[in-house]
Amino acid sequence: MKCSIPKGTRDFMPVEMARRNYIFDTIRSVFKTFAFEPIETPSLENLSTLMGKYGEEGDKLLFKVLNSGDFMKDVDFNQDYHKVAPQICERGLRYDLTVPFARFVVQHRDQITFPFRRYQLQPVWRADRPQKGRYREFYQCDADMIGSPSLLNELELVQMIDLVFQRLGIEVTVKINNRKILAGIADLIGAPDKLVDITVAIDKLDKIGLDNVRAELSERGLSQEQIVALDPIFNLNGSANQKLTQLQELFANIPTGLKGVEEMQTLFSLIEAVKPQCQIELDLTLARGLNYYTGAIFEVKAHHVSIGSICGGGRYDNLTGIFGMPDVSGVGISFGADRIYDVLNELNAFPAELGQSAHVLIINFGPSEQNYCLQIAALLRKSSIATLYYPEAAKMKKQMEFASKKGIPYVLFAGESEVANGTATIKDMASGEQTTLPIDQVAAHLLHQ
Amino acid sequence: MKCSIPKGTRDFMPVEMARRNYIFDTIRSVFKTFAFEPIETPSLENLSTLMGKYGEEGDKLLFKVLNSGDFMKDVDFNQDYHKVAPQICERGLRYDLTVPFARFVVQHRDQITFPFRRYQLQPVWRADRPQKGRYREFYQCDADMIGSPSLLNELELVQMIDLVFQRLGIEVTVKINNRKILAGIADLIGAPDKLVDITVAIDKLDKIGLDNVRAELSERGLSQEQIVALDPIFNLNGSANQKLTQLQELFANIPTGLKGVEEMQTLFSLIEAVKPQCQIELDLTLARGLNYYTGAIFEVKAHHVSIGSICGGGRYDNLTGIFGMPDVSGVGISFGADRIYDVLNELNAFPAELGQSAHVLIINFGPSEQNYCLQIAALLRKSSIATLYYPEAAKMKKQMEFASKKGIPYVLFAGESEVANGTATIKDMASGEQTTLPIDQVAAHLLHQ
């Protein structure tokens, strides 16, 4: 029988687990100091909760779970499979953490004190075509604050991003935009209905250049006049504040645009006051997740590594509206653990000591020293030292090879003479140095080395 | 639109998360000091990996995931649903952590150094009928050591169980049996083919009494002679060691039984040497998971609470055999986090401070004190103090009510005079006491209170 796992899924070996946990723990510790509270939602949601929330393409990517028992009963299979699927599957696997969170807030509104800050680190599933860096099961690390429209929330998200990547040792730029500015631009050129087309095209500016963006805008149904009217946007220059001042003038008669500029001016001055270490950039080409963002939009890019965004988020004014609870403003970010993993890997920036199994291996000399060794193991474990007592009285060579293969930094010998003297001999595997100590000093020795 | 989640699944609120994480962290910390290494396997496995591993009943309880795309293509729907299901579902949700671990070991055998100790804390899914304490999605916390037949492994599992429940403050009894002794008993009465029937009936001794057990054995096809021959087993008495000695005599001509007795004698003397705090009991009625256990069998019962076993496990000599890698002996345990949660709840034994969101709330007085408050927030967070700066300059009453509703133990005021003096005023919400301090002393004050 051949052993394999489904395409797009992964097994994680201990060393990968240690590295992933290093990322999760870092993110979690920052979420906690900003007083976010953890929640979890079920992996399985009713399909009715998920369907229609991620667009037509998203619906196709939902993993659907077959009803148990006789799922075929009363179902007409002479229909298109799109029609049959929801009749034989009532439940599906979570596609992201945002829609389940909206459902959670509405369902538990009476138990929640607003403003509410929650974080959630859980896997999500998408029936995407697997490719490098894209998986069918992957973790999202989300933090959202809801029930408060204050821009202090946006500020704190930037501070959290800054702190997470400081702690991980990754230099980043936080790109910020505002959906109201994008809407203002669409208004400015008299094409409010073309907001999406304009931002999708602008988003490609870096990749395809101005001429191609113009061609694409034309294809998307903008008139030459409208395209020319966009020129002042492409010609904005200077610092974030200077660009915002230029936009303010362009938006003289466009209230939405002005509101967006004002929000960004406030946010940038707040950010200036707290002096983050990361770079901050106003990026008017940033348009991610446009479907539900209504204010600030964030995206984080790592320096020195060519990879997509490693964190993103934004303000949404009506996410719970889809579940019948309108007017709850929220803002959140999502860290992409898998991409952060790839970045740390490429930068060779994981701490060296991650993924050690045992800190010390106690050599098994056989039954006569067994109780003595068990006593030492108990002492070390009491000091939270990861301790392995080799389970068989195998040949010394085999036990030493095991320690070296597993990268265990210390080996402890307690043979006849050590037992007689109440001592143990510790070998530092890196230096080869050996030290013999009374057993009550072994833990301290191993902890301070 | 009504919000709900699938039957048998759960949302976890922050306070429940804190309590669950307390359990997981305790278990994980013990696993680590015994040098177990973490792994994770995908939620989705190929159905061919899962089917046939849990018996006919288990197969029915597997959640199957519909193939994406046109799952109906080339499938004949004029068949029984049992036949159709595997044709439209290639993948299923993990049912336990043991079979995926066996698959993992076989698949990655070349990357694993044996003996290998792994732990795994992940959810599993079963399409069971939901009822009190039984869920369709729940966590298992497993630790297994494979590639070593030494009974030191069994000993360490007992030590780990002891340590976990010591740290959680739950008094427990670890019940131990051995599959070879059960096989010896079946041999003894000349009914080796009735091993399962005998143990299932014996297992009910406490519940239904000796007469009913005898009646059941008769129904299950044992002769009166065979049933009478069981009497010496029911009449065993004294300590574990005394019972084992009596068994040794009964098993004079039964090698399997003798081997089981010898294993138990060794294990009990090892356990005696390490002096665990928990109670240890030889329980010949213990027969759990008989299908793959081949040696020691463990089960843990909490004192003072009427609930099923909260941890269990055993030795299996051929788990990876189902995937074509024979002769790998392993032994493992699984902690039932949900039941442990219920026990701690019933004993009122969760630590009191769990589930605090913020340790301190900084009152928002408005824009003039804003930068000062942000500076204090940054200082406190640098000391890893969970700090919330109320995001709106709401009325004092509202902010204080928020702190009290959320159970935040300290509130920090930094108004006009504090800004002028470089101080902050901290109110202890429990005692009502107020202290004014220079801001560089606030973190230390909050940490030492």
Which stretch of DSSP H or E encloses residue B229? helix B224-229
B91: left (phi over 0), alpha (psi -120 to 50) or beta: beta
User: Is A59 within 8 Å of A52 (Cβ atoms)?
Assistant: yes
Tell me how far apart the alpha carbons of residues B268 and A48 are, in angstroms, rounded to a whole number. 55
For the stretch A145-160, pLDDT in tens is 999 999 999 999 999 9
Reduce the DSSP state of residue B10 to 3 states and report it: coil
Given a cut of 70, is residue B208 above it in pLDDT? yes
Q: How confident is the model at residue B4 (pLDDT cuts 50, 70, 90)?
A: very high
Task: Name the DSSP class of B93.
Answer: E
What are A200's two structure tokens? 């999708």
B360-362 and B311-316: which strand pairing? unpaired
| Closest to A425 in 3D by CA, of A381, A365, A378, A367 | A365
Tell me how far apart the alpha carbons of residues B358 and B335 are, in angstroms, rounded to a whole number. 31
Q: What is the DSSP string of A68-86?
A: SS-TTTT---SS-HHHHHH
Q: What share of chain A is helix, strand, coil (3-state, %, to 5)?
A: 45, 20, 35
What are B2's two structure tokens? 């009504």
Q: Do A37 and B43 touch (CB under 8 A)?
A: no
B400 and A CB contact within 8 Å: no
Task: Quickly list H helices, B34-141.
Answer: 47-50, 55-61, 81-88, 98-107
Reduce the DSSP state of residue B254 to 3 states and report it: coil
Tell me how far apart the alpha carbons of residues B234 and A266 are, in angstroms, rounded to a whole number. 81
**Over residues B322-351, mean pLDDT:** 94
Contacts of A46 (CB under 8 A, 6+ apart): A90, A91, A92, B4, B5, B6
Alpha carbon B112 to its chain's center: 25
Q: Which residues of A touch B322 (CB under 8 A)?
A: 1
Given a cut of 90, is residue A131 above it in pLDDT? no
Tell me how far apart the alpha carbons of residues A367 and A392 are, in angstroms, rounded to a whole number. 10
Given a cut of 80, is residue B437 above it in pLDDT? yes
Tell me how far apart the alpha carbons of residues B126 and B6 are, in angstroms, rounded to a whole number. 13
Given a cut of 70, is residue A1 above it in pLDDT? no
Q: Do A46 and B104 touch (CB under 8 A)?
A: no
Q: Which residues of B touch A406 (CB under 8 A)?
A: 113
Please give the pLDDT value at position A290.
58
User: Is B295 within 8 Å of B263 (Cβ atoms)?
Assistant: yes
User: Is A287 within 8 Å of A182 (Cβ atoms)?
Assistant: yes
Tell me how far apart the alpha carbons of residues B78 and B90 are, in angstroms, rounded to a whole number. 19
Sheet holding B387-389, edge to edge: B387-389, B360-362, B410-413, B423-428, B434-438
What are A68's two structure tokens? 């148990």
Q: Which residues of A touch B18 (CB under 8 A)?
A: 38
CA distances from A65 to A77, A99, B68, B90 (A): 17, 18, 11, 11
Q: What is the DSSP string of B67-84?
A: PSS-TTTT---SS-HHHH
Given a cut of 90, is residue A95 above it in pLDDT? yes
Q: How confident is the model at residue B290 (pLDDT cuts 50, 70, 90)?
A: low
Reduce the DSSP state of residue B426 to 3 states and report it: strand
A225 phi/psi in degrees, rounded to 5 = -60, -45
Given a cut of 90, is residue A133 above it in pLDDT? no
Tell me how far apart the alpha carbons of residues A276 and A300 are, in angstroms, rounded to a whole number. 14
A263 and B CB contact within 8 Å: no
Please give the pLDDT value at position A357.
86
**Over residues A172-187, mean pLDDT:** 95
Q: Which of A218-222, A283-287, B15-19, B238-242 has the lowest mean pLDDT?
A: A283-287
**Over residues A35-53, mean pLDDT:** 96
Please give the pLDDT value at position B289.
59
With a pLDDT cut of 90, the percent of chain A lying above it is: 85
Would you tell me which residues 229-248 of chain A have a C-beta closer than 8 angstroms to some C-beta of chain B?
Answer: none
Tell me how far apart the alpha carbons of residues A280 and A188 are, in angstroms, rounded to a whole number. 26
Task: Name the DSSP class of A239.
Answer: S
User: Is B363 within 8 Å of B412 (Cβ atoms)?
Assistant: yes
Q: Which residue has the tokens 């509410």?
A: A116
A423-428 and A296-302: which strand pairing? unpaired
Cross-strand pairs, B315? B331
Cross-strand pairs, B67? none
Please give the pLDDT value at position A289.
59
| Closest to B268 in 3D by CA, of B332, B143, B178, B331 | B178
Instruction: Closest CB to A387: pick one of B1, B9, B33.
Output: B33
Half-sphere exposure in the Cβ direction for B160 (13 Å, CA): 34
B13 and A CB contact within 8 Å: yes
Tell me how far apart the alpha carbons of residues B301 and B286 are, in angstroms, rounded to a whole number. 12
Please give the pLDDT value at position A23.
98
Q: Which residue, among B22, B26, B66, would best test binding to A if mutated, counting the most A CBs under 10 Å from its CB? A: B66
Q: Which residues of A touch B34 (CB under 8 A)?
A: 381, 386-388
Given a cut of 80, is residue B206 above it in pLDDT? no
Reduce the DSSP state of residue A352 to 3 states and report it: coil
Which stretch of DSSP H or E encloses residue B20? helix B14-33
Q: Which residues of B touch A355 (CB under 8 A)?
A: 37
List the Cα angle B227/B231/B232 in 5-degree steps.
Answer: 135
Task: Name the DSSP class of B7.
Answer: T
Tell me how far apart the alpha carbons of residues A121 and A28 are, in angstroms, rounded to a whole number. 8
Q: Which residues of A touch B45 (CB under 8 A)?
A: 5-6
Residue A363 is which amino acid? I
Which stretch of DSSP H or E encloses residue A123? strand A116-125
What are B346's two structure tokens? 């019933």
Smallest CA–CA separation between B67 and chain A, in Å?
Answer: 8
Smallest CA–CA separation between B366 and chain A, in Å?
Answer: 11
Q: Which of A66-80, A121-135, A278-292, A351-365 has the lowest mean pLDDT?
A: A278-292
What are B337's two structure tokens? 């986090």
Q: What share of chain B is helix, strand, coil (3-state, %, to 5)?
A: 45, 20, 35
Reduce the DSSP state of residue B387 to 3 states and report it: strand
Cross-strand pairs, A178? A296
Please give the pLDDT value at position B132.
82
Q: Which residues of B touch A381 (CB under 8 A)?
A: 33-34, 163
B145 and A CB contact within 8 Å: yes
For the stretch A375-422, pLDDT in tens is 999 999 999 999 999 999 999 999 999 999 999 999 999 999 999 999
Sheet holding A37-38, edge to edge: A37-38, A116-125, A137-146, A330-336, A311-316, A296-302, A172-178, A279-282
* Residue, of A290 and B347, whose pLDDT is higher: B347
Q: What mean pLDDT, rounded, does chain A reach? A: 94
Please give the pLDDT value at position B295.
95
Half-sphere exposure in the Cβ direction for A123 (13 Å, CA): 19
Half-sphere exposure in the Cβ direction for B27 (13 Å, CA): 26
3-state secondary structure A2-44: CCCCCCCCCCECHHHHHHHHHHHHHHHHHHHHCCCEECECCCE
For the stretch B356-414, pLDDT in tens is 889 999 999 999 999 999 999 999 999 999 999 999 999 999 999 999 999 999 999 99
Judge residue B448's burial from the number of C-beta atoms within 10 Å of its C-beta, 0-12 exposed, 13-18 middle, 19 or more buried: exposed
Q: What mean pLDDT, rounded, does chain B reach? A: 94
A127 and B CB contact within 8 Å: yes
Smallest CA–CA separation between A142 and chain B, in Å?
Answer: 15
